[in-house]
Every structure is written in structure tokens, then in C-alpha cells.
Structure 1
Amino acid sequence: MATADFPTVYTALRGLLAPYADQLVVKHDDEGHYYLDTRHTRPNGEPLFFAATQVKRTYVSFYLMPVYVFPELLDTLSADLRKRMQGKSCFNFKQLESNLLEELAGLVGRGYTRYQEAGYI
């Protein structure tokens, strides 16, 4: 897929995070970079990261910290979405498939709920 399609991928991934912006802190909202923190402060004084998406040179990254904090959120992850994982909380996309976008949206929602239950939101 050509790099020219990355803005479309980014817009779709950003759309998964935008509904949560009112309850979180938007740290970056630039062309190609959207980043959300919680208002919860970690012991080091820094805010607890929630999620972000960013256009890179060869893919669009989607970071979701709740899956790092609560790895059991990944227990029901499909093999197709798992193939997109890079590290413990990052998913890389060159193109989007509607089923993966839907699954990722559910994962974001479950992650948000877990953060709420833990008192992070």
C-alpha cells in the first residue's frame, strides 16, 4: 500500500480514540499524531499514558497502554490483530480491514473500562 493511504488509516485509528478525549488529556493533536494521557499521575510525577496513533515512514502505529498494564486484555485477541502487534502495546497498520478496526475499537473500550475500574480515569 502506498504511503499516500496512510492519512486514511491514521484518520480511522484516531477515530477510535476521539470519543474518549473528553475524559482524558489530549497531549498531541497534530497532523499524523494524536496522543491521549490520563489525569492520573504516576509515582514519578508523569501522567499515565492511555493511547496514541502516529503516522510513521512505513506504517501507522497505534499504541494502547491498557494492554500493557492489563495484559489479560489480549487473551481474546484474534490471530489477525495479533499479527499487527509490535512489542507489548503497539499495533502497526499499512491498511485497515473493517473487522480489525472493529476488534481494535472493542479493545480500546475494554482498556478504557479497566483503567476506570483501577481508578486511573
Structure 2
Amino acid sequence: MEKEFIAIFLAVRSLYAAYDKQCVVTHDDKTRYHLGSHEVRERDGYRTDFGGVEIKKNYVSVHLMPVYIYPDMLQTISGELKKRMQGKSCFNLTTQDTQLISELGDLIAIGIARYKEDGRL
């Protein structure tokens, strides 16, 4: 595991951990940290996922479900962050870019607010 990936993981993990009292920590180990809602869905017994960060083989993956649920959140992201988007709710990072990590922090905060507005948190 690359040192840089660990640094990216820890930086993004701290962004999510700031909301761990408002959410439920569903995974927390050396390579994976995820948050979900307090509510457990009746239909399948799972929590609504909020997002998290994972160290993969070739990148650090940042998942943020609010951008999938509320695609309008993506209208204001930078071109640099958009380039790192994989699928509809995931961003892959390979370098510790403080500007991109800060931008992800802003998106996480907006996502928390939107989940609260909709009663998901």
C-alpha cells in the first residue's frame, strides 16, 4: 500500500468522521471507512448508505451517495474533480491534492444537509 494512498485515506476519512455522530459508522478499519443512516430499511434490513472512503490497489475510492440521489450537487464541482469521477457516486484519487480533498469536504457537508432535509438522517 502506497504511503500517499494512506495519507489520502486519512485526510478523507477525517472529513467523514466529522459526521460520525450524525450517522452510523458501518465500516472502520485501516483501509475502509463508511457511514450510513440511523434508519434501517424494512424491505431489506440495510441502512441507507451515505458514503465513505476505501484504499484500493491503484487508487483511493471516495463514495458519496448524495451526488447520486441529488445530481444537481455535481453542477458546481470543478473540472478536476469531475475528471476523477467514476460512475455516478464515486471519485478516485491517486495523489493527495488538498484542493480536491477540500472540495470533497464541501460536497460531504452539502450531502449531510440534503440527507437531513429529506429525513434520511
Q: Considering the TM-score relative to the shorter chain, is it more than 0.5?
A: yes
The equivalences for 1:30-109 within 5 A come to: 30-42=29-41, 43-109=43-109
Once superposed, which parts of structure 1, at least 4 consecutive aligned residues long, lie more than 2 Å away? 40-45
For 1:21 and 1:68, the matched residues in 2 are separated by 21
After superposition, give the CA deviation of every residue in 1:77-116 in whole Å (9 maximum; x if it has no partner).
1100001100000000111211111111110000000000
Question: For residue 67 of structure 1, what is the amino acid of its counterpart?
Answer: V
Q: Distance in 2 between matches of 1:73 and 1:19?
A: 20
| Structure 1 position 117, deviation (Å) | 0.2
Deviation at 1:52, TM superposition (A): 1.0
Q: Which whole-Å CA distance do the structure 1 matches of 2:105 and 2:29 have between them?
A: 21
Q: Is the 8 A contact 1:53 1:62 kept in 2?
A: yes
Asked whether the equivalents of residues 10 and 54 of structure 1 are also in contact (C-alpha less than 8 Å), the reply is yes
- Which residue of 2 is the match for residue 12 of structure 1? 11
What number of residue pairs does the alignment pair up? Answer: 120
Counterpart code for 2:66: P
3-state DSSP of counterpart to 1:58: coil
- The gaps in structure 1 that reach 5 residues or longer are none
TM-score normalised per structure 1: 0.94
For the 8 Å contact 2:4–2:96, the answer to whether it is kept is no
RMSD: 1.3
Which residue in the other structure is 1:21 paired with? 20
Query: In 2, Cα distance between the equivalents of 1:28 and 1:10?
Result: 14
How big is the shift at 1:3? 2.3
**1-side partners of 2:61 and 2:48: how far apart?**
19
